[in-house]
Each structure stands twice: as C-alpha cells, then as structure tokens.
Structure 1
C-alpha cells in the first residue's frame, strides 16, 4: 500500500511551502539540493519539515494539500505546532455577514 504525505516546509526566509509526496525524505532532499531551479524553495534553502500528515488515499492527500495551501501562514504554523485552540480560532469566519458577527435584535 502506498502512503502519501502532505507536508509543510519552513524556508530559510521563514516563508512556508506546502506540498505532497509519496516519499518525504526523498522530497526533502530534492528541495534542499535544489533539484528544480524554478521551484519556490530553490532560493529559500535550506528548508525543514515542520509538519507532515500521512494518507492511505491519494485523493484525500490531494484534497488536504489543496485545503492547507489556501491557509494563512499563521494557520499553517498553528497546525504544525499542534495548537488546536489557535487553529480553531483562525478557522472561524470573520465576515460581517456571519451570524456570530450580527447583533441580535430583540
């Protein structure tokens, strides 16, 4: 059975990169040796893995990677640090139209 891994890297300039692989150690090596000169991480080496999550189903892994890529850096760091309270807080809707933000009318 193949395992797929969604990972978050912290780059040398403190920016974050999110990716997916079926071999985390190989992929980390590729990032750090600069295998692709056009990659986001090429000029931001060295990089380090701050989070990874394994999946049995490639479709679940792809779905999770796409979801995490849309998150703010603060939310990604909360995930990486296992800070569930902050992750929940950062996940709450802050739109003015959200029901929690409307004043109750009596």
Structure 2
C-alpha cells in the first residue's frame, strides 16, 4: 500500500509526496536530513491530507495530478473535502 500525502509547512505552503509509511515520512520531514529539501527549510510541517493507493505506480500518478495539475485553491478544496467526508 502506498499513500499520497500533503503537508502544510510552517510558511503555509503545501508539499505533496508519496510514502509507504506516512507517519515515518512526516517524522523525516520534521526531524531528519531525509526530509525533502523543500520541507527542511520550512519546518515544522503538519499532515493535512493522505490518500491510500494500491501500488507505487498509482501513487505516483496521483501525486503528479495533485502536484502539477492542481493549483493551491484546488488543493485546499481537496483537503477540505477529506476533512468533511463521513
């Protein structure tokens, strides 16, 4: 199982990535040199969205769709819709 996730950085920008273990990856973004270069200078980061996908290929495609095809407003709507889902 792979996950696409979005974190909100301290400067309120959004970062999208994939991981097999979101909690571990969040820990890396906040406390390790293994965190993405983008997030290392924008700590702390907070998980605001995650979505499970069956395999790496699906996760990479979804990450691309979120990262490259959605603008900030659309990403915030995606996050909001997940918060209000039953």
Band of TM-score, shorter chain: 0.7 to 0.9
Greater helix content: 2
Q: TM-score, normalised by structure 1?
A: 0.71
What residue ranges of structure 2 are gaps of 5+ in the alignment? Answer: none
Question: Which structure has the higher relative contact order (CA within 8 Å, separation 6+)?
Answer: 2
Structure possessing the higher radius of gyration over alpha carbons: 1
Distance change in 2, residues 1:13/1:52 (3 Å):
same
Greater strand content: 2
Residue of structure 2 in register with 1:31 after alignment: 29
What's the offset of the Cα at 1:34? 3.6
Q: Which runs of 4+ in 1 moved over 2 A?
A: none
Q: TM-score, normalised by structure 2?
A: 0.87
Asked if 1:58 corresponds to 2:56, the answer is: yes
Aligned Cα RMSD in Å? 1.6
